[in-house]
């Protein structure tokens, strides 16, 4: 059973709720607004693991992984300022692609194209890309959904060889998400 210790102050600061059952099934609730359920085999990554990945950038968020499936999924959010209220999820996804392209220029980054997915009934805008890590070709998708005055950033990273099964799982996980 996964045990999470968090002070009340930390929980309020992060605005994050974690619920995990003994078999690995669980939920992440982000910003008290978006609940994502994950299947057996996944576990929430601890802070030390997350810090090695550099996938959340600045701001609150969480990562889950299933080492057997060779997949990592990260979820973050950021409240938008006054100027950003005019930005759409598509605008934010374009900016994210530009940032990721620059950051991954030394890893054989290749844009696979822009696409949309459903996140709990809302349209998310994003893109697919591939890159190389430690000699292994990787596949990733990055999405942004705007909900009220908050952008939610959703990412999946998997081995290229396992892309089909993990993208199917990812698509289902996003579609079954629930907004408060």
Delimit the domains of the chain by residue range: 8-179
In the sheet where 110-119 sits, what is the strand order? Answer: 43-44, 61-66, 71-79, 150-159, 136-147, 122-133, 110-119
Residue 167 and residue 141 in contact, taking contact as beta carbons nearer than 8 Å:
yes
pLDDT tens for residues 73-104?
Answer: 999 999 988 777 788 999 999 999 999 999 99
Smallest CA-to-CA distance from 14 within 50, 68, 65, 67 is with 50
**pTM for this structure?**
0.84
CATH architecture of the domain with residue range 8-179: 3-Layer(aba) Sandwich (3.40)
Rounded to whole angstroms, the Cα distance separating 40 from 27 reads 11
State residue 81's pLDDT score.
80
Give the residue, 6 or 145, on which the prediction is more confident.
145
State residue 21's pLDDT score.
40
- For 63, the token pair is 């990562």
Mean pLDDT value across residues 138-167? 96
Q: Is the pLDDT of residue 113 over 80?
A: yes
């Amino acid at each position: 059973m996964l045990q999470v210790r968090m002070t009340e102050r930390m929980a309020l600061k992060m605005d994050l709720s974690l619920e995990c059952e003994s078999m690995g099934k669980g939920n992440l609730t982000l910003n008290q607004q978006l609940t994502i359920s994950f299947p057996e085999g996944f576990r929430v990554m601890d802070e030390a693991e997350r810090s090695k990945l550099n996938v959340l950038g600045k701001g609150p968020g969480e990562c889950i992984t299933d080492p057997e499936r060779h997949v990592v999924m990260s979820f973050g959010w950021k409240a938008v300022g006054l100027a950003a209220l005019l930005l759409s999820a598509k605008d934010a996804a374009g900016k994210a692609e530009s940032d990721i392209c620059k950051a991954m220029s030394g890893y054989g980054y290749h844009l696979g194209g822009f696409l949309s997915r459903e996140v709990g009934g809302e349209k998310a805008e994003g893109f697919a890309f591939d890159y190389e890590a430690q000699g292994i070709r990787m596949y990733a998708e990055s999405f942004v959904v705007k909900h009220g005055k908050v952008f939610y950033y959703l990412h999946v990273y998997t081995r290229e060889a396992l892309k089909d099964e993990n993208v199917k799982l990812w698509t289902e996980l996003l579609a079954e998400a629930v907004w408060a």
